[in-house]
Amino acid sequence: MIDNSERVEFTAEMRKDYTILAPNMLDIHFCMVENLFHSAGYNVKMLRNYDQSVINEGLKYVHNDTCYPALLTIGQMISALKSGEYDINKTALMMTQTGGGCRASNYIHLLRKALKNAGLGHVPVISLSIGNMEKNSGFSLTFTMMVKALAALAYGDLLTVLKNQTKPYEINEGETDKLVAYWVKLLSEKFEKGRACTPFSIKRFMKRIVASFLKIETEERDCVKVGVVGEIYVKYSPLANNQLESFLFSQGCEINVPGIMGFFMHVLGNGVDDVDLYGGSKLKRLKSKAALWLIGKYEGYINKPLADAGRYSVPATYKHLRELVAPVMGHGCKMGEGWLLTAEMMELCESGYENIVCAQPFGCLPNHIVGKGMIRTLREYYPDANIVAVDYDPGATKVNQENRIKLMLSVARENMAKKDNNTEQKSKATDKILQTV
Amino acid sequence: MSYRLGLDIGSTTIKCVVLDESDNIIFRKYTRHLSLISEKTRELLCEIRDTFCGEQSMCISVSGSAGMGIANTLGIDFIQEVYAAKLAVSRYIPDTDAVIELGGEDAKILFLTGGTEVRMNGSCAGGTGAFIDQMAALLDISAEELNEAAKSYEKIYNIASRCGVFAKSDVQPLINQGATKNDISKSILNAVVNQTVAGLAQGRKIKGNVVYLGGPLTFLSELRESFDYILGLEGVCPDNSLYFVALGAALGGSENSKELDSVIEGIDGMDNGGSYNSISALFENEQELTEFRSRHSKESVITDASLTESGGAYLGIDAGSTTIKAVVINENENIVYSSYMPNSGNPVPIVREFLLEVYDRYPNIRFLGSCSTGYGEDIIKNAFGCDLGVVETIAHYTSARKYEPSVDFIIDIGGQDIKCFKIADGAIDDIFLNEACSSGCGSFLSTFAGALGYGIEEFSALALESKKPVDLGSRCTVFMNSSVKQAQKDGASVADISAGLAISVVKNALYKVIRVTDAASVGKNIVVQGGTFLNDAVLRAFEKEIGHNVTRPSVAGIMGAYGAALFAKQNKKAQCTLLGKDALLNFTHTVKAVTCNGCTNRCKLTVNTFSDGKKYIAGNQCDRPIKGETAAESYNMYEYKRELLGRYTDKEGTRGITLGIPMGLNFYETLPFWHTLLDKLGFGIKLSPVSTKKLYQKGQQSIPSDTVCYPAKLIHGHIAALCEEGVDAVFYPCMTYNFDEGLGDNHFNCPVVAYYSQVIANNMEQIKNALLINDYVGVDMKKHFPKKLHALLGKYFDGITLREVKEAAKAAYAEYEAHIERIRSKGEEFLRIAEDKGLPVILLCGRPYHIDKEINHGIDKLICDMGAVVISEDGLGRGYKEIPTTVLNQWTYHSRLYCAADFVSRSDDPDINLVQLVSFGCGVDAVTTDEVRKILWKNQKIYTQLKIDEITNLGAVKIRLRSLFAAIEQKKRGAGLDR
């Protein structure tokens, strides 16, 4: 049991004038979520302080062998609190809490520990979790907020796909980014008025968004197609992955970073799998199944307009990912990103992004299994798979990481030359897998 | 078409080639750059310009780990170095299957046939040129001499190949124990090969035509020989083997030629604006420096006292990892004579010289006591007949107290080790030693100074002048190299780097070793010692980091020896047995290497024989070769648990199907469960053999992630062995959840224990010919388990009924519970015995698989040999109940750990203590260690953590344990006085 005797609650009183700081992970998604919190009456601020003091504070207050994301997010919050920018008696922190067998479920507790040691023990920490795992009288994740958040994340995934597949080919530099910013702003405004989050309007907006991206002037370019997978925070956060996305863009790559909806479905799906594998409450299974079905709808909302447009690589569905990974790994493997990470790599290989950066914190336990542990097998299924595993921690230098990625890119360019011959092979590999399912 | 110029700017050298129109090499040069990359590149380009007057423009491209920056700035093509090597090999040696290239700080393998693949070292610089240089320096020879020495080796020692730091801690004891340079040299080269094969090839077999490239493989014939031997083939080291990357760069660049002059100009114009991250200077102004100097000059003692009339004196010798310190004090505890000498690989002759000098200088000296300490404590004690040996920590405390009687914190930074301890109530309270990392140590500074072409003193003096020290953070030496390089590129001066390094040494010590969360809280009266603190920059950085002033004795470098001398005086014996002058003159010392046949460990022993026929044996993991079979009874629960598991033996079975069980990870606890279950179902059972290094090597090639913990890596060997035995299937299910003991919020396994079977399935060739049952099972769901298992087994085998499974499961659960009960009864029994006999108790807390001797390296036995009762973390389970924690308590094995810590913490008996075993790379323990420490500190108990990996060096472990026992004794004495 957690010793909660010293936990500082976020009270209704605090809600009035407290600033709530939260770590940023995905620029597009979290920007909309941030706005969404504002409209619900919480002064949430996603932290974007990325300077050296973040790492220094992290090293100081978090066990140095703990995973890098914990070190960064906690360091980022403490650095912000110490910066003088916020009134530390009027500031609260927010951290997501997932639960699960990975040490990541401990982040919120490590944060509290760190705050105490930094003399900031009085700062309340709000746990952000689907089931409201910890109660705070001043904060609750209401159904409306969840519906809006879900929409925001779905829009985020769609915008990310469009951005990644348009930006490398745009003729007028900066046009794609501008359009993304336009939609983020517009959608945030709509959320505030309670719009753009019903299934009907989501479908409508998504269609419009896709149409708007189709209008961006592009040209054919020989871009290396690179997929990015990894531990969720390192995969997405530029702070953690040393601006991996901009680096890849600067190297003339088209990137494919599988979206966050897949992760949610993975987590929900675990609830179903657990009961199937080990037995247990039928009701629990039913609940997970229902939630899974619901989110599956959003998946469809995103994919349909993309598929209709005809020129985009459409994200794989949860169902497809599950089938794909089955011959390689059981669905019971759920800690961290679990089987999803392996499935994503396979799907990327399948859809032409066989050059992959697998990003993880140094010493990430689940990734010993689902990341590095699966690369050899994937090469058997996809002979062209060109995967580089990159470790991130406070000790690793950007130069080293980029050098490794450049090696992967050199091989990728060479492979591109003989790509035509391989198309046939690849579909064979897919057939092989689907046959075994 | 013009000439092509390829530059390979590596971590330590620059290689350059010029090719003519038909790819012939018309110019080549190899030079060390001493980190002056732009200067040296410019020099080279000028030389080429002057050599080829007619060709003022060439197609230039750059490769190499340090070349990316220069390429970007100058707008020249950059070719990734591994890719460059691949291009060159394909062009010049087309039938190559694999390339092994070792460089200054990097190691690479390219597979060219059967699926092109490139591997390079990522976070680890073990097995590179820098590593060999470092090891050679340790032996006090050059890399070339090391190669020569390796030619006439007799035996090879096991040296941890994963990281230079670990290897160092393996090599140092070998040196101290007197192993020959020839043997050590060959062992080092072998370690490099193992590292390359294990770390890079990761399971892919290196075969066919192999090409060796790069500096170390070009210059060191014995290294090639080691590769040939281990790979079982004959590799080729081509002409120009140093230049392949440069050649590849030349071949792979674009066709756009550039004026050499404009490129040279570009280098001249390179921005040296100082855009690196910097931190505040060590001294803001001259005045601060003056104040600092005068303050520390006060802390001096008499170091040239004379002997008292009687000539009575005490000797203290501290045989450290890189240096030997010796002190002679008179009866008034003043230092008469002292010496600080490099270790040079063999401490014995050095100490002999010292003693002879003492006898010459002070003809009427009469030693009344003598004491040795440090890594070489035993050999010195035995060689010269010292009266006493004392653990380093106590030696340091003894001398520190002399300077600052109210000292509450001592930090000693030596060549390769950091020792810190807290003092409470006059006893050592908590000890921190660096086990896994030497980046906060002195040798690190001198290595860097050397690499930049400075002596250490000059180098550290420069630091005081730095205005903008480089912010290097706190990190591993290996990474520091590239950070330093980057800073240099960004215009940092040597002074700035020196200051930055001094600061990072301090940060490493504080944040990595001591793990302070608040630097100001380490103590009030701090004494700093060790040679590294004689460096003013380090001292100043330390004071700045913790925010107040500290005491640095003027003899900071010899405090261990001084403490040993004081200890000799305080614990004076009736007769001093130290060798006299005559005995020293006739002193001889011979070393022989033998393998102990006392048990299956097969320790490689070095037997030192001295002139009086006295022998000193080192390298042993137990006392057997020294004492013979020990009769003394020991109370070791680890041994008991091993015995219990030994009762579950191979079974024939009635079903005609034999299942193999790999004896690793969670099987160390679930064996009674699965064994009973499978046996009842009529399966034959075959257990994998006991873990050994050899078994590990059997599966080593198939380990995909070299940073996973050693217990997981060992599984590969167990599976390989089972496959060799020819079982029908290997039974190794995945288990997300463990048994629920109700001690935590959840009952998970860690991700590695839970899912490692998935790694086995996807990485081991062997298993593809056998069946692997790695389905997911939930033993915690007792009710649902039989049904789920029945369905699962039905997938593989016919004719097993649900009824059978139900009965078997019932028996299995019962057997498992009985097993746990047996352990708990034994634990309680041992606790009672300890109480009755007044023996100290150590709760040796790890995971079930830590009882594996190959994993714990005999630490359980070591503790028993020190006279303590060893109880495992689950031994007192009957009394456990869930306790509140500040972290999420969700893993079954760790919940026990917290309970055990709580038990020790609540006990009033000072003789009951806890030692935590932590496997290197265990991410979960990053969470648990802090929590366990917190629980123990609540009631002022000492927290001791032992990090274990594949290394077998027990030196550091012994120091910790001896210090722990010494501290317990001191505590008890202190408490006694109070009453």
Closest CA to B943 of B928, B956, B924, B954: B928
Question: Within 13 Å and on the Cβ side, how many CA atoms surround A161?
Answer: 27
Query: Do the domain assignments include residue B392?
Result: yes
Q: Of A141, A169, A202, at which residue does a domain stop?
A: A141
> Residue A242, SS3?
coil
Structure-token match 């996807």, residue found: B762
For A95-99, B312-316, B391-395, which range has the lowest pLDDT when averaged over its residues? A95-99
Confidence band for A400, pLDDT divided at 50, 70 and 90: confident
For A123-137, B654-668, B751-765, which range has the lowest pLDDT when averaged over its residues? A123-137
The yes-or-no verdict on residue A225 having pLDDT over 90 is yes
The region, left, alpha or beta by phi > 0 then psi within -120 to 50, assigned to residue B306 is: beta
How many CB atoms are located within 10 Å of the residue A368 CB? 27
* pLDDT value, residue B976: 44
List all residues of chain A from 128 to 167 with a beta carbon under 8 Å from chain B.
Answer: none
CA dist B660 and B790 (Å) reads: 19
The yes-or-no verdict on residue B637 having pLDDT over 50 is yes
Same domain, A122 and A237: no
Q: Of A82, A110, A141, at which residue does a domain stop?
A: A141
Query: Do the domain assignments include residue B853?
Result: yes
Burial per residue of B549-559, b for 16 or more beta-carbon CB atoms within 10 angstroms, e otherwise: ebbbbbbbbbb
> CB of A103 within 8 Å of any CB in chain B?
yes
* pLDDT value, residue B707: 81
CA distance B386 to chain A (A): 42
Q: What mean pLDDT is predicted for residues B857-886?
A: 91
Q: Do B80 and A379 touch (CB under 8 A)?
A: no
Query: Do the domain assignments include residue A274?
Result: no
Same domain, B506 and B431: yes
Residues of chain B positioned with their CB less than 8 A from the CB of A409: 80
For A380-384, A424-428, B583-587, which range has the lowest pLDDT when averaged over its residues? A424-428
* pLDDT value, residue B39: 83
Nearest to A277 among B748, B774, B778 (CB): B778
* pLDDT value, residue B627: 57
> CB of B792 within 8 Å of any CB in chain A?
no
Q: Are A75 and A54 in contact (CB under 8 A)?
A: yes
CA dist B319 and B375 (Å) reads: 6
Contacts of A424 (CB under 8 A, 6+ apart): none
* pLDDT value, residue B519: 66
Residues of chain B positioned with their CB less than 8 A from the CB of A368: 704-705, 707-708, 712, 751-752, 759
Domain limits at A394?
224-258+316-437
Where residue B578 sits, what CATH number does that domain have? 3.30.420.40
Same domain, B350 and B228: no
The yes-or-no verdict on residue A423 having pLDDT over 60 is no
CA dist B253 and B63 (Å) reads: 10
Query: Do the domain assignments include residue A279?
Result: no
Q: What mean pLDDT is predicted for residues B594-618?
A: 75
List all residues of chain A from 343 to 372 with a beta carbon under 8 Å from chain B.
Answer: 362-370, 372
User: In the A/B pair of chains, how many CB contacts fall below 8 A?
Assistant: 235
Q: Of A86, A110, A141, at which residue does a domain stop?
A: A141
Q: Give chain B's domain count.
A: 7
Closest CA to B765 of B704, B707, B824: B704
Question: Within 13 Å and on the Cβ side, how many CA atoms surround B86?
Answer: 21
Q: Do A101 and B749 touch (CB under 8 A)?
A: yes
CA distance B135 to chain A (A): 23
Confidence band for B916, pLDDT divided at 50, 70 and 90: very high
Q: Do A374 and B203 touch (CB under 8 A)?
A: no
Same domain, B800 and B678: yes
Mutate to test the interface with A, among B776, B788, B880, B932 (most CBs of A within 10 A): B776
Burial per residue of A203-216, b for 16 or more beta-carbon CB atoms within 10 angstroms, e otherwise: bebbeebbeebeeb
Query: Do the domain assignments include residue A23?
Result: yes
* pLDDT value, residue B978: 35
Q: What mean pLDDT is predicted for residues A83-109?
A: 85
> Residue B121, SS3?
coil
CA dist B664 and A13 (Å) reads: 54
CA dist B350 and B584 (Å) reads: 12
Residues A366, A367, A368, A371, Cα dihedral to 10°: 140
Burial (CB < 10 A; 0-12, 13-18, 19+), residue A98, is middle
DSSP B395-457: HHHHHHHHH-TT--EEEEE-SS-EEEEEEETTEEEEEEE-SS--TTSHHHHHHHHHHTT--HH
CA dist A327 and A381 (Å) reads: 11
The region, left, alpha or beta by phi > 0 then psi within -120 to 50, assigned to residue B723 is: alpha
Pairing verdict, β B13-19 and B4-9: antiparallel
Same domain, B370 and B483: no
- The amino acid that residue A168 corresponds to is P
Q: Give chain A's domain count.
A: 2
Residues of chain B positioned with their CB less than 8 A from the CB of A370: 755, 758
Q: Do A369 and B756 touch (CB under 8 A)?
A: yes
Helix (H) / strand (E) containing B780: none
> CB of A379 within 8 Å of any CB in chain B?
yes
Considering the entire predicted model, what is its pTM? 0.84
Query: Do the domain assignments include residue A371?
Result: yes
Residue of A nearest to B79 (CA): A410
List all residues of chain B from 731 to 750 with a beta carbon under 8 Å from chain A.
Answer: 734, 736-737, 744-746, 748-750
* pLDDT value, residue B601: 62
Q: Token pair of B660, please? A: 């193999």
Confidence band for A435, pLDDT divided at 50, 70 and 90: low
Query: Do the domain assignments include residue A311?
Result: no
Same domain, B835 and B814: no
List all residues of chain A from 316 to 335 with a beta carbon under 8 Å from chain B.
Answer: 328-330, 332-335
Cα–Cα distance list, B10 to B30, B58, B81, B293, B554 (Å): 11, 21, 9, 41, 42
Residues of chain A positioned with their CB less than 8 A from the CB of B117: 379
The yes-or-no verdict on residue B441 having pLDDT over 70 is no
Query: Do the domain assignments include residue A114?
Result: yes
Mutate to test the interface with B, among A399, A409, A413, A418 (most CBs of B within 10 A): A399
> CB of A422 within 8 Å of any CB in chain B?
no
Structure-token match 């794989």, residue found: A316
Complex confidence, ipTM: 0.91
Same domain, A119 and A231: no
Domain limits at B531?
410-550
DSSP A389-436: EEEE-TTS-HHHHHHHHHHHHHHHHHHHHTHHHHHHHHHHHHHHHHHH
Residues of chain B positioned with their CB less than 8 A from the CB of A384: none
* pLDDT value, residue A243: 93
> CB of B781 within 8 Å of any CB in chain A?
yes
Q: Do B888 and A329 touch (CB under 8 A)?
A: no
Query: Do the domain assignments include residue B389?
Result: yes
CA distance A335 to chain B (A): 6
Average pLDDT of chain B, as a whole number: 85
CA dist B428 and B397 (Å) reads: 8
Query: Do the domain assignments include residue B302?
Result: no
Same domain, A26 and A125: yes
List all residues of chain A from 247 to 276 with a beta carbon under 8 Å from chain B.
Answer: 274
Residues of chain B positioned with their CB less than 8 A from the CB of A231: none
Query: Do the domain assignments include residue B627?
Result: no
CA dist B147 and B725 (Å) reads: 40
CA distance A87 to chain B (A): 22
Question: Within 13 Å and on the Cβ side, how many CA atoms surround A256?
Answer: 23
List all residues of chain B from 322 to 341 with a beta carbon under 8 Å from chain A.
Answer: none
Structure-token match 């110019």, residue found: B27
* pLDDT value, residue B631: 45
Where residue A365 sits, what CATH number does that domain have? 3.40.50
CA dist A194 and A212 (Å) reads: 23
CA dist A115 and A88 (Å) reads: 12
Same domain, A132 and A228: no
Same domain, B42 and B144: no
Residue of A nearest to B883 (CA): A1
* In B924-976, beta strands by DSSP E: 943-948
Q: Do B482 and A397 touch (CB under 8 A)?
A: yes
* In B255-381, beta strands by DSSP E: 258-259, 312-319, 323-330, 335-342, 366-373
> CB of B280 within 8 Å of any CB in chain A?
no
Q: What mean pLDDT is predicted for residues B347-362?
A: 91
DSSP B505-549: HHHIIIIIIS--SSGGGS-SSEEEESGGGGSHHHHHHHHHHHTS-
CA dist A61 and A43 (Å) reads: 26
The yes-or-no verdict on residue B273 having pLDDT over 80 is no
Q: What mean pLDDT is predicted for residues B67-81?
A: 84
Same domain, A247 and A131: no
Residues of chain B positioned with their CB less than 8 A from the CB of A56: 473
Same domain, A233 and A103: no
For A424-433, B266-275, B550-559, which range has the lowest pLDDT when averaged over its residues? A424-433
- The amino acid that residue B135 corresponds to is M
> CB of B784 within 8 Å of any CB in chain A?
yes
Same domain, B400 and B507: no
Identity of the highest mean pLDDT range in A153-157, B602-606, B974-978? A153-157
What angle separates helix A282-309 from helix A143-166, to the nearest 10 degrees?
Answer: 40
Q: Do B707 and A362 touch (CB under 8 A)?
A: yes
Q: What is the pLDDT of residues B14-58, one digit of tens each?
A: 999 999 888 888 999 998 876 677 888 888 888 988 888 777 788
Query: Do the domain assignments include residue A362?
Result: yes
Helix (H) / strand (E) containing B919: strand B912-919
Query: Do the domain assignments include residue A48?
Result: yes
Same domain, A243 and A386: yes
Q: Do B483 and A279 touch (CB under 8 A)?
A: no
DSSP assignment, residue B216? H
CA distance A25 to chain B (A): 22
Q: What is the pLDDT of residues A351-374, one digit of tens each?
A: 999 999 999 998 888 999 999 999
Residues of chain B positioned with their CB less than 8 A from the CB of A373: 704-705, 758-759, 762-763
CA dist B773 and B735 (Å) reads: 12
Query: Do the domain assignments include residue B307?
Result: no
Query: Do the domain assignments include residue B218?
Result: yes
Same domain, B659 and B752: yes
Closest CA to A352 of A430, A408, A297: A430
Same domain, A237 and A108: no
Same domain, B535 and B482: yes
Same domain, A366 and A242: yes
What is the widest separation between alpha-carbon atoms in chain B?
95
Q: What mean pLDDT is predicted for residues B664-677?
A: 96
The region, left, alpha or beta by phi > 0 then psi within -120 to 50, assigned to residue B665 is: left
> CB of B763 within 8 Å of any CB in chain A?
yes
> Residue B911, SS3?
coil
Average pLDDT of chain A, as a whole number: 89
List all residues of chain A from 30 to 69 with a beta carbon under 8 Å from chain B.
Answer: 52, 55-56, 59-61, 63-67
Same domain, B791 and B839: no
The yes-or-no verdict on residue B979 having pLDDT over 50 is no
Same domain, A124 and A234: no
Same domain, B494 and B443: yes
| Beta sheet of B684-687, edge-to-edge order | B684-687, B658-661, B729-731, B771-773
DSSP B271-305: --S--S-B---S-SSHHHHHHHHHHHHTS---SS-
Residue of A nearest to B934 (CA): A113
Measured in whole angstroms, the distance separating CA B112 from the mean position of its chain's CA atoms is 33
> CB of B78 within 8 Å of any CB in chain A?
yes
Q: Do A368 and B751 touch (CB under 8 A)?
A: yes
Residue of B nearest to A364 (CA): B923
Nearest to A376 among B203, B748, B784 (CB): B203
Percent of chain B with pLDDT over 90: 38
Contacts of B129 (CB under 8 A, 6+ apart): B12, B102, B103, B104, B105, B143, B214, B215, B216
Query: Do the domain assignments include residue B537?
Result: yes
DSSP assignment, residue B942? P
SS3 content of chain A, % helix, strand, coil (to 5): 60, 10, 30
Same domain, B682 and B812: yes
> CB of A194 within 8 Å of any CB in chain B?
no
